[in-house]
Amino acid sequence: MNYGILFLKISSVFFLLIIVLRILGKREVGELSIFDLVVLLIIADIAALGIDNDEFIIPSYFCVLILVVFQKALSLLLVKVAKFRNIIDGSPTILVMEGKLQIKNMRKEHYTIDDLVSQMRIDHIMDIDEIQLAILETNGTLSIFRNTRFDEIKLPVIKSGQIIKENLKALNWEEEQLKNKIKNHNLDYKKIIYASLYRNTFYYFYRENKKDQELEGRRLELR
């Protein structure tokens, strides 16, 4: 075995992967979604093949390049099309709501009570009755909000012009009810970038046109 050539191959693959990760962006390193994880695993396998097989080293670089282009193109599509983003990355799931376990959602996500208790210990929470809201994010992390700080539930109900039906249901609102309330204020929900609901307080960012670069948050009382 020629260790000099092996060293050069490993070094080249190492620096190639660093460049690829920089191109993919910080999100891929810190918050792996299912889509990101699949891309990185495939890249790792292709890089390993390039190290093992001298004839495959150049084709492996080409394959990695194709994957990077594919990932960036698909990421752009995820930004532009909210429905496609939900299909690829999924959507957050509520596991605890006002101290109540959402058993149906836990079964759907195959999330056990042991998983929940383990995450509670990591966040220095001793009992479930300390939790006001717990949401399983699309990257598998659990976001926990204590009831000592958050005495009321506030959830996003619109993102990128798409109504989040699960959150509306959790807040005891109907989709048509929200649409009618918004319409009564001469607003198009499809132009709302983000909106949350707290009791009857509707906090939102509205995009009048595509040229808007900065949006200011507004509040409405939906009576």
pTM for the whole structure: 0.58
How confident is the model at residue 29, as a pLDDT?
47
Please name the residue that has the structure tokens 């190492």.
14
Q: In whole angstroms, what separates CA 215 from the centre of its chain?
A: 22
Single-letter residue type at 27: R
List all residues 6 or more positions away from 79 whose beta carbon is below 8 Å from its beta carbon.
85
Tally helices (H) and strands (E) across the chain. Answer: 9, 9
Please list the ranges in the chain whose pLDDT falls under 50. Answer: 26-30
Is the domain 91-146 a CATH 3.30.240.20 member? yes
Q: In whole angstroms, what separates CA 136 from the centre of its chain?
A: 10
Instruction: Count Cα atoms within 13 angstroms, Cβ side, for 41.
Output: 7
Domain with CATH 3.30.240.20 in the chain: 91-146, 155-221
Is the domain 155-221 a CATH 3.30.240.20 member? yes
What is the distance in angstroms between the CA of the first residue and the CA of the last residue of the chain? 77
pLDDT digits over 105-152, tens only? 988 889 988 888 889 889 888 888 788 999 998 778 899 998 877 667
